[in-house]
Amino acid sequence: MNRHLLSIDDLSRDEATHVLDTAAELAHLLDDTDRAVRKLPTLRGRTVVNLFFEDSTRTRISFEAAAKRLSADVINFSAKGSSVSKGESLKDTALTLEAMGADAVVVRHPASGAPHRLAYSGWTRSSVVNAGDGTHEHPTQALLDAFTMRRHLGPPDRPGALDGRRVAIVGDILHSRVARSNVLLLDKLGAAVTLVAPPTLLPVGVGSWPCQTSYDLDAVLPACDVVMMLRVQRERMNAAYFPSAREYSRRYGLDAPRLGMLAEHALVMHPGPMNRGLEISAVAADSPRSTIVEQVANGVSVRMAVLYLLLGGAQ
Amino acid sequence: MSTTLVRGARLLGDRQGDLLIRDGLIVEVGPGLSEVGAEVIDATGLVALPGLVDLHTHLREPGREDAETVASGTAAAALGGFTAVHAMANTDPVADTAGVVEQVWRLGQAAGHCQVRPVGAVTVGLAGERLAELGAMASSAAGVRVFSDDGHCVSDAVLMRRALEYVKAFGGVIAQHAQEPRLTEGAQMNEGELSGVLGLRGWPAVAEEAIIARDVLLAAHVGSRLHICHVSTAGSVEIIRWAKSKGWDVTAEVSPHHLLLTDELAASYDPVFKVNPPLRGKADVAALREALADGTIDAVATDHAPHPVEDKDCEWDAAAFGMLGLQTALSVVQEAMVETGLLDWAGVADRMSTRPARIGALAGQGEGLVPGAAANLVLVDPSVRARVDPDTMASLSRNTPYAGMVLPGRVVTTLLHGRATVRDGVLQ
Ligand SMILES: [Zn+2]
């Protein structure tokens, strides 16, 4: 495996599958471990730094739990603040971390490509894990989403395969790093992805992505195995991406009637945090087919696998 | 009375000949010249071109002397074969008064590496709200003829119209940085397939083309001269070609980097490739080369934009726009235009000296290699290829996108009014 995880494109299909299989094994191992301990000794003596230039308590906690369950030392470094807007602090922070001997840096940053800069500018020798950069990618989110899908949808004879499964990703694709990573990963794993959004929220050039696109959610829903709803920021309507929250919700929200259009086995997913009543109704979010809470738990397993393979696996 | 004999040069890359220079003027051109007591420059194997004229240079002084000074920037210009540069107005303070343009002009004279012709701001403080005192700048010692809010577009149509009209009184020209501001808020790179993949906010071609279309129509309407800065898209080329076919007085420039580099470089997220307007696609590069070859685009202008290390050694979004250009411009043009057979050396002289001097109404520059012309010339060895090394550049900044690339051509000698500013590739 590559020394860094910056984009899903850093993984081959086999490597991605290996991450997901490893996550399943680690989850299983921990279930068997003495619950009072809940730790594996794999990364003892290694240091993982959570470097967050953007607020995301849930992602940070998930990585922190993953690293701690592998017995790594964890340093949380929150760099959100005025100095960051100048940008230079990325380099200074990297030099500091290098001096501290970080083995892996988990970085969340509002600028697309910031983890890439951290990995390849020669500022640090650490492995870099992208925990979400701007509107670029969020590879561990895609891995945990695929992990969740495999648990529910893999055929009994080939547990974990997503070949031929249909996934609709609905909402603000333009600004979504989750959508980018998911399209790349699900395509690698053999699933067929359809992006559903108003035309204003699809990026220029989306036609060359390995997926279909649609403006019509109702036409897409009945054939889906998974519908993944993305968070839509209300501020987007001020930039004329859509006229009003109400109109968005009517055309692209997962409400009760649309929930009823889904196949029996279909899953409802959301990377969180949700805007209940905008892109997803309470009835959809809380329905038995919703994996939203499970996604959080699976996030820890998948992030354990990533850290294990980047650090432990390399030894 | 100083006399110099340049012997054996290929004049405009063509026939071999000698140039006799006396008191800053070319006095004789032809084969087998001799002159007792003249200093002889052996130019065997070298191409002689008229001194290059840059319409678009950011010298950063006053205000950002950490990035560049008039002295360091003009040193880079001389080493790049330039004998005149137009210093852009986006300094601090902005070059929007006679006082500031005269200061820049004097600094250029004091440095002595090449002629510095300041560009005046179109609007006060580049704010796009009211006209700067264009007439005062024109009548100042600096003799400003080119006016630009470069870095900002004069997006207000009424203001642009008035500026186009007003400068007719003193033979000025408005050089427009064509960028529709609303379409490019927060824009980071060319909008296309790659911007979507990289998650970098797009700078669409239409934002440039829409302003150019509006401005050529405005210029035609009021019968004014218009110059378009750093044209970067195939669509812009089409509009300019159409405007010229109408007989309208429109000129355009292209930056060297837009002739050679494409937006694919943004995939490195290395801000050394971040520039405004952004690097575009392959088809745009091809269209720009063709337009420069057929004269639709009149001139190559460097848009030399030095930035200190900390403004580039960061994440893409936070980095400054711009790249160095003066010391690599001729090599890039040789690579993109001459080696490809699109332009001969006479064409290079036309696009990098004659026409830019004419657009800038700059007397004593771009007069060619003829008796009576000012002795501004450059001797180039087109046969060498060398790796670009940022650390050897005269600029105070290091943000060249060509670092590590192997490019052809070496400026051996630059003469400014008969005096060598560069000899054997070394600044004098
Ligand atoms: Zn400009």
Restricting to B residues 304-343, those with a Cβ less than 8 Å away from any Cβ of A are 310, 313-319
Neighbours of ion ligand 1 (CB under 5 A): B 150, 177
Min Cα separation B319/chain A (Å):
7
* Whether residue A204 sits in one domain with residue A80: no
**Domain-embedded: residue A3:** no
pLDDT at residue A159, as a whole number: 60
Q: What pLDDT does residue B11 have?
A: 97
Return the residue of B nearest to A205 by Cα: B193
The CATH number assigned to the domain holding A47 equals 3.40.50.1370
For the residues A273-294, what does the mean pLDDT come to? Answer: 93
> In sequence order, what DSSP letters do the residues of chain A get, joined into one string?
--S-BSSGGGS-HHHHHHHHHHHHHHHHHHHHS-TTT----TTTT-EEEEEESS--HHHHHHHHHHHHHTT-EEEEEE--SHHHHHSTHHHHHHHHHHHHT-SEEEEEESSTTHHHHHHHSSS--SEEEEEEETTTB-HHHHHHHHHHHHHHHS-SSSTT--TT-EEEEES--TT-HHHHHHHHHHHHTT-EEEEE--GGGS-TTGGGSSSEEES-HHHHGGG-SEEEEPP--GGGGGGTSSS-HHHHHHHH-B-HHHHHHS-TT-EEE--S---BTTTB-HHHHTSTTB-HHHHHHHHHHHHHHHHIIIIITT-
Check: CB of residue B123 under 8 Å from CB of residue B132. Answer: yes
Alpha carbon of B175 to ligand 1 centroid (Å): 9
pLDDT of residue B1: 58
The mean of the pLDDT values for chain A is 91
B3-47+374-427 carries CATH number 3.40.190.10 = no
Nearest CB neighbour to B316, from listed A85, A113, A137: A113
Neighbouring-strand partners of residue B128:
none
Q: What is the pLDDT of residue A82?
A: 43
Query: Which residues between 256 and 285 in chain B have a beta carbon less than 8 angstroms from any beta carbon of chain A?
Result: 268-270
Instruction: Determine, yes or no, domain membership for A1.
Output: no
* Chain A contact for B157 (CB, 8 A cutoff): no
Q: For chain A, how many structural domains are there in total?
A: 2
What residues of A are in contact with residue B204 (Cβ under 8 Å)? 204
Exactly one of A46, A60, A108, A231 is catalytic; name it: A108
Nearest residue of chain A to residue B189 (CA atoms): A112
Of B191, B204, B269, the CB nearest to A117: B269
| In chain B, domain spans | 3-47+374-427, 51-359
Residue A81 covered by a domain: yes
- Residue B194: closest C-alpha in chain A: A205
Tens of pLDDT, residues B59-101: 999 999 999 999 999 999 999 999 999 999 999 999 999 999 9
User: Of the candidates B169, B275, B149, B261, which has an alpha carbon nearest to the alpha carbon of residue B211?
Assistant: B149
Indicate whether A84 pLDDT > 80.
no
Interface touch B196/A205, C-beta < 8 Å? yes
- C-alpha angle B217/B219/B220, rounded to 5°? 65
Burial class (CB in 10 A: 0-12, 13-18, 19+), B193: middle
- On chain A, the residues whose CB falls within 8 A of the CB of B270 are 117
Contact A113 B202 (CB under 8 A): no
Residues A285 and A154 in one domain: yes
The 10s digit of each residue's pLDDT in B178-205 is: 999 999 999 999 999 999 999 999 999 9
* Candidates A8, A91, A112, A202, partner chain B, best to mutate (most B CBs within 10 A): A112
A46 in the same domain as A83: yes
CA-CA distance, B271 to B276, in Å (whole number)?
A: 12
Active-site residue, from A44, A58, A80, A265: A58
A138 in active site: yes
Answer yes or no: is A75 within a domain.
yes
Pair of tokens at residue A131: 């925990």
Q: Are residues A126 and A59 in the same domain?
A: yes
With beta carbons under 8 A apart, name residues in chain A contacting B314.
Answer: 86-88, 90-91, 117
Residue A160: which pLDDT band, with cuts at 50, 70 and 90? Answer: low
List the catalytic residue out of A59, A93, A140, A148. Answer: A59
| Distance (Å, whole) CA B311 – CA A183 | 34
CATH architecture assignment, domain B51-359:
Alpha-Beta Barrel (3.20)
**C-alpha distance from residue A117 to each of A6, A111, A176, B22 (Å):** 10, 10, 20, 55
User: Does the annotation count A150 as an active-site position?
Assistant: no
A162 is a domain residue: yes
C-alpha span between A140 and A10 (Å, rounded): 12
In a domain, A2, yes or no: no
Interface test with A, best of B315, B316, B317 (most A CBs within 10 A): B315
Same domain, A303 and A221: no
The verdict on A301 and A253 lying in the same domain is no
**pLDDT tens, residue by residue, B323-332:** 999 999 999 9
Q: Which domain holds residue A247?
A: 139-291
Residues A149 and A120 in one domain: no
How many angstroms separate the Cα of A108 from the Cα of each of A114, A136, A290, B223? 8, 11, 27, 54
Among B195, B199, B310, whose Cβ lies nearest the Cβ of A204? B195
Global pTM reads 0.94
Same-domain pairing of A221 and A262: yes
Provide the pLDDT confidence category of residue A34 given band limits of 50, 70 and 90. Answer: low
Are residues B316 and A112, on separate chains, in Cβ contact within 8 Å? Answer: yes
Which candidate from B194, B199, B314 shows the least CB-CB separation from A87? B314
Q: How far is the CA of B149 from the centre of ligand 1 (A)?
A: 8
Q: B203 CA distance to ligand 1 centroid (A)?
A: 14
Q: Are residues A283 and A220 in the same domain?
A: yes
At residue B425, what is the residue type? G
Between CA A105 and CA A115 the distance in angstroms is 9
Q: Which residues of A touch B319 (CB under 8 A)?
A: 87
Closest alpha carbon within chain B to A202? B196
B195 in contact with A at a CB cutoff of 8 Å?
yes
C-beta atoms surrounding B282 within 10 Å: 10
What's the average model confidence in pLDDT over A203-217?
97
Clarify whether residues A37 and A168 are in a common domain: no
Q: Are B55 and B365 in contact (CB under 8 A)?
A: no
- Give the pLDDT of residue B299: 98
Distance between B209 CA and the closest CA of chain A, angstroms: 18
Identify whether residues A84 and A130 lie together within a single domain.
Answer: yes
Chain B positions touching A136 (Cβ under 8 A) are: 198-200
Q: Could you list the mean pLDDT of each consecutive 10-residue stretch along chain B, which spans 428 residues? A: 91 95 96 92 97 98 97 98 98 97 98 98 97 98 98 97 98 98 97 97 98 98 98 98 98 98 98 98 98 98 96 93 98 98 98 98 96 98 97 97 98 97 97
Picking from B192, B196, B315, the nearest residue to A113 by CB comes out as B315
Same structural domain for residues A161 and A231? Answer: yes
CB half-sphere exposure, B418, CA atoms < 13 A? 19
Among candidate residues B303, B311, B317, B381, the one labeled active-site is B303
